[in-house]
Amino acid sequence: MSQSFKTTLVAAALASCAFGAHAQGAPIKVGFMLPYTGTYASLGNMIENGFKLYVQEQGGKLAGREIQYFKVDDESEPSKATDNVNKLIKRDNVDVLVGTVHSGVALAMAKAAKENNTLLIIPNAGADAITGPMCGANIVRSSFSNWQPAFAMGKVAAEKGHKKAITITWNYAAGAESVKGFKEAFEKGGGTVAKELNLPFPGVEFQALLTEIAAQKPDAVYAFFAGGGAVKFVKDYAAAGLNKSIPLYGPGFLTDGTLEAQGPAAQGMLTTLHYADNLDTARNNAFRKSFALAYKAQADVYAVQGYDAAQILGAGLKAVNGDIAKRDALTAAMHKVTVDSPRGKFTISPAGNPVQDFYLREAKGNNNEYRSIAVKALADPARGCKL
Amino acid sequence: MDLATFLVQCLNAVQYGLLLFLVASGLTLIFGIMGVINLAHGSFYMIGAYLAFALAPYFGDWFIARLVVGVLLAALFGYLLEWAFFSFLYRREHLQQVLLTYALILVFEELRSILVGNDVHGVPAPGWLAGSFPLGELMSYPWYRVFASAACIVVALALYWVVNRTRLGMMIRAGASNRDMVRGLGIDIRLLYRVVFAGGVALAALAGMIAAPLSSVYPGMGGSVLIICFVVVVIGGIGSITGALIASLLVGFVDTFGKVFFAEYSGVFVYLLMAVILVWRPEGLMKRGF
């Protein structure tokens, strides 16, 4: 090895030491792993925009630190999830991971985040396991667990005096978790779930099951579907005339973002979620105005979840004065924060899931309008979490 | 299950089967007669559905006119597509066909995303078919579903007539069994293939247009019908229209009653049916070209 090369190496090493000492000044690297293509593409964009909006409102910095963004499209494809998350963790060396929408992908991210001890904030995916058996001190969710809105709906359905319900969903993890949450609250309230119907994901041929519902004559139906499947189910349910005699309930995902496509079929439908389009609070109005100004688009629940993910990170960084190396203090602060969210104030459970109010909403025009609080400060039971 | 419910379920099965037939018949024409593995067939179904969505504002209640215009556009599109891409594929391996048609799926999905966006959209059924009639105590059955089934039966009969009773049909059947002999007899097989391909695309698009008011239009809707269509084509016998009809109805019944009686395992039955039939008759139920 030539002398000059050695000198260069030493100089480089010294330089990197120097940089290390001034890490305070370097930007914090935030890695978005979100769906930018495919069915969930619009959700990914909403989350990213929400996150960036909060950072912009703080002057482009969190706790005095610049934020540098990295992006990977997860395509909502669980089989590529581990490779994709490693691009952010190993290649880009991000300090914080933010993602994602699809639960299968999010579970892989949680696993990778635990193995590499990387901070992870989940802005949507509702898999119960993430804040259950998979929970970790470095993992926080800014959205919900599948159990939560379902439990709230089960409570409302029981309070309305319904005794016999039928559930229907796709035969996959999120559907099963949602049905479980509904059943738990509904049976606690004195009702019984007579039958749990399901069909393979993402099938949309509901006619046979609707006939089965008509034959069973329940007092209420609880459905968990999303996207195109939700639109078709709600329309088929109304076309079969069942909405006249048997009320259809569901978590907010059944109607959120798809009311226009569902048209008259969805009008008057009651759903539960941690957000409602016309939540008339100063906080929400300010947020919606700011979002509309920045992006020329109406904010939705996904934008709120992205926004709150940034708030949680901001609170953590603030507690350690922007020194991200103080991990224990940082994660502890992220769990202790009270988030002043557009959805209403909420806290974080020890397992890392929001403890938040769930609203009963009614579909009116193209909005899911706030009706009442279904359950106040609902905490996920975090079954299987050893924190 | 009482008799009334059973009969309604049979109706559901027939209706699902008929709609499946409409999509699968185009695939069996292209796959069976031209020997092209066309993974993009689901995309043609999607294009049809989005055509229905895009054309709806211009036609209002002129629903049949909308269908006709859509089918003509789709056929023209298929004709051009065959000329530009598929005509180079007949002598190539299946792998290259799979690659091209898979690429087409990606291109069509991306175009859809750019042109229409990623939202779910409802497509209104025509006013004169908007109502429904009561069926059993609680249920009613939308007239549009009856119309969809009737349209599928009309198309099935028309296809049967064309393939079995016309000169064009004779050429198609001959082309399916022996390409070189047909060419030897002085028939322009390239033109014949182009017409068959355009017809196959038009059938898929028609299915999409008819299904659109029932299913809404949404990203990735083509992918979900593609696999079940291949199942139908394989069960029915590759290249057989009659086989596709029988197979569609079989799949419709198995799927419907599988869901009702064995909800947990309902995804399996259709594939089980395919496996059993392939063991029993490896070539599928019917012979090519019939």
Q: Are residues A318 and A239 in the same domain?
A: no
pLDDT in tens, chain B (290 residues): 788 889 999 999 999 999 999 999 999 888 877 888 899 999 999 999 999 999 998 987 788 999 999 999 999 999 999 999 998 888 888 899 999 999 999 999 999 988 998 788 888 888 888 888 988 778 889 899 999 999 999 999 999 899 889 999 998 888 877 888 888 999 898 899 999 999 999 999 999 999 998 888 988 888 889 999 999 999 999 888 899 999 999 999 999 999 888 877 777 899 999 999 999 999 899 876 55
Residue A11 belongs to a domain: no
Cβ <8 Å between A232 and B255: no
Q: Which of B119, B134, B219 sits opposite A38 (nearest CB)?
A: B219
B16 touches chain A (CB under 8 A): yes
Please give the distance of CA A166 from its chain centroid, rounded to a whole number: 26
Tell whether A331 is covered by a domain: yes
Q: Out of A197, A214, A261, whose CB is closest to B216?
A: A261
Task: Output the domain CATH number for residue B221.
Answer: 1.10.3470
Question: Are A164 and A73 in a shared domain?
Answer: no
What is the domain extent for residue A33? Answer: 21-144+280-352
Q: What is the mean pLDDT of residues A83-100?
A: 95
Q: Distance between CA atoms of A180 and A167, rounded to whole angstroms?
A: 10
Pick the more confident residue, A121 or A260. A121
Rounded-to-5 percentages of helix, strand, coil across chain A: 45, 25, 30
A261 in contact with chain B, both atoms CB, cutoff 8 A: yes
Cα–Cα distances (Å) from B22 to A282, A349, B38, B125, in that order, read: 54, 53, 16, 19
Same domain, A154 and A130: no
The string of pLDDT tens digits covering residues A212-227 is 999 999 999 999 998 8
**Residue B161 within a domain:** yes
Same domain membership, residue A129 and residue A201: no
Same domain, A25 and A140: yes
One domain for residues A121 and A58: yes
**A131 lies in the same domain as A86:** yes
Q: Does a structural domain hold residue B260?
A: yes
Query: What is the maximum span of chain A, computed from C-alpha positions, in angstroms?
Result: 88
DSSP A1-33: --HHHHHHHHHHHHHHHHHHHTGGGSPEEEEEE
Q: By CA distance, what is A200's nearest residue in B?
A: B267
> Domain for residue B152, yes or no?
yes
Partner A contacted by B113 (CB < 8 A): yes
Q: What is the DSSP string of A204-217?
A: ---HHHHHHHHHH-
Query: Based on the number of CB atoms within 10 Å of its own CB, is B91 exposed (0-12), middle (13-18) or buried (19 or more)?
Result: exposed
Cβ within 8 Å of residue A234, ≥6 positions away: A223, A248, A254, A255, A262, A265, A266, A269
The CATH code of the domain that includes A137 is 3.40.50.2300
A263 touches chain B (CB under 8 A): yes
In a domain, A379, yes or no: no
Question: Do A259 and A157 fall into the same domain?
Answer: yes
In this complex, is the C-beta atom of B114 within 8 Å of any C-beta atom belonging to chain A?
no
Q: Do A50 and A155 fall within a single domain?
A: no
Whether B16 sits inside 8 A of A207 (CB atoms) is yes
Q: Say yes or no: B137 contacts chain A, CB-CB below 8 A.
A: yes
- Let me know if residue B286 belongs to a domain: no
Inspect the interface and report whether the beta carbons of A240 and B257 lie closer than 8 Å.
Answer: no
Length of chain A: 387
Min CA distance, B183 vs chain A (Å)?
43
What is the count of structural domains for chain B? Answer: 1
- A110, A112, A115, A120 alpha-carbon torsion, rounded to 10°: -50
What does the pLDDT average to over A24-32? 88
Locate all alpha helices (DSSP H) within B216-240, ordered by sequence.
221-236
pLDDT at site B54? 93
Measure A208 CA to nearest chain B CA, in Å.
6
User: Which of A171, A228, A262 is opposite residue B221, by nearest beta carbon?
Assistant: A228
- Mean confidence (pLDDT) of chain A: 91
Classify residue B290: in a domain, yes or no.
no
Q: Are residues A260 and A322 in the same domain?
A: no
B3 inside 8 A of chain A by CB: no
CB-based contact (8 Å) between A297 and chain B?
Answer: no
Contact check, Cβ <8 Å, B259/A199: yes
How far apart CA A146 and CA A225 sit, in angstroms, is 12
Assess if residue A158 is contained within a domain. yes
- Does A226 reside within a domain? yes
Q: In this structure, is residue A287 part of a structural domain?
A: yes
Count structural domains, chain A: 2
Return the closest-CA partner of residue A354 out of A139, A59, A153: A139
Interface contact flag, A208 B9, Cβ < 8 Å? yes
A-chain residue closest to B225, CA distance? A203
Q: Is A361 among the domain residues?
A: no
Range of the domain at B16: 3-280
